[in-house]
Structure 1
């Protein structure tokens, strides 16, 4: 199975499960992206000393993008409306979660570029 088939199967809920599986997957991926972005911001601020803020920011952006793509694919392939049990509302909620993860990752990445290794702001 190629990558397009895997993403489409994940968005449609996979082979096993109901229509909400794809939306739940997108929600979970979006929440993981938000958590990664939040941790990356904490690393930049110096509240967490373990890990690399730049790597965390890039991870949050990638996971957020994946969650947004999964949610949009689920929205495009779902039939019926809200309340029909196909996960449409979950996919609608997953889109802003993925975008929030991308925004948090970008903010952490921007801050990691301006903060020096000792927590001081670079001047040039």
Structure 2
């Protein structure tokens, strides 16, 4: 048995062992998009909680408003182009999660932005004691 035969046999064995668990482009892209969506939800939630304090949370608001739409668009595009249904290994479930998390993160970021603008306006109109 030559070295090429051994390497071919070991490569075949590896692909059989890891057959259903290989993380290819079909699963990686929506997984990354879902993680970006999750980050936007966390950033938007933290910004919304802290938006009552004037001048805080701008970076979180911007992060939620940038990462949320990116996650939703990438997840939507991947979901529209995925061949097969759920459980086929094409990343459709990850794409759906990416869209949902991206939309939630965008909404939380927009609410935090609106609340922070309202709080900044209200703080500026109060008379000084």
TM-score, scaled relative to structure 1:
0.72
Seen in structure 2, the aligned counterparts of structure 1 residues 44 and 20 have a Cα distance that, compared at 3 Å, is same
TM-score, scaled relative to structure 2:
0.69
Displacement of 1:121 in angstroms is 8.3
Q: RMSD in angstroms over aligned alpha carbons?
A: 2.5
For the pair shown, the structure with the greater C-alpha radius of gyration is 2
User: How far apart are the structure 2 equivalents of 1:116 and 1:18?
Assistant: 44
Residue 66 (structure 1) aligns with: 70
Gaps in structure 2 of 5+ consecutive residues: 1-22
Residue 81 (structure 1) aligns with: 85
Gaps in structure 1 of 5+ consecutive residues: 1-15
Q: Which is helix-richer, 1 or 2? A: 2
Task: Give CA-to-partner distance per residue, 1:78-100, whole Å, 9 cap, x none.
Answer: 11111111111121122111000
Residue 7 (structure 1) aligns with: none
How many residue pairs align between the two structures? 104
Work out whether residues 53 and 109 of structure 1, in 8 Å CA contact, stay in contact via their aligned partners in 2: no
